[in-house]
Amino acid sequence: MGMTGFTVALMLIGVIIYPCVCVKEFSDHQEIKIQTLLKRLNKHALISVKSVDGDIIDCVPIHSQPAFDHPLLRNHTIQMRPSFIPEITSTYTKKCTKATQAWHKSGRCPENTVPIRRIMKEDILRSKSIESFGKKTTSSIPENDPSKDHEYAVMNSMQGKYFGTKFAVNMWKPEVQVPNEFSLAQTWLVSGVGTTRNTIEAGLQVYPGKYGDNNLRLFVFWTANGYQGTGCYNNDCAGFVQRSNKIAVGGTYNTVSQYDGDQYELSVLIWKDGENWWLQIGEEIVGYWPGQLFNSLGNGGTIVQWGGEIVNKETDGKHTGTDMGSGHFAEEGYKKASYFRNLMTIDETNTLREPQGVYPTTGHDNCYNIKAGDGGTSWGVNFFYGGPGLNERCP
- Candidates 181, 309, 314, 331; catalytic one: 309
Long-range contacts from 349-352, C-beta under 8 angstroms, 24+ separation: 350/84, 350/86, 350/163, 350/271, 351/86, 352/86, 352/87, 352/88, 352/89, 352/166
CA 10 vs. chain centroid, Å, equals 54
- Candidates 201, 275, 331, 348; catalytic one: 201
Q: Is 309 a catalytic residue?
A: yes
Q: Is 201 a catalytic residue?
A: yes
Distance separating alpha carbons of residues 373 and 217, to the nearest angstrom: 26
Contact 327, 175 (CB under 8 A): yes
**DSSP secondary-structure letter at 388?**
-
Q: What letter represents residue 263's amino acid? A: Q
Q: What are phi and psi of 106, to 5 degrees?
A: -105, -15
**DSSP secondary-structure letter at 288?**
E
Tell me the DSSP string of 9-44.
HHHHHHHHHHHHHHHHHHHHHHHHHHHHHHHHHS--
Tell me if residue 265 falls in helix, strand or coil.
strand
Handedness of CA 369, 183, 178, 148 (dihedral sign): positive
Q: What are phi and psi of 319, to 5 degrees?
A: -60, 145
Mode of pairing for the β-strands spanning 216-223 and 276-281: unpaired
Q: Which residues are catalytic?
A: 201, 309
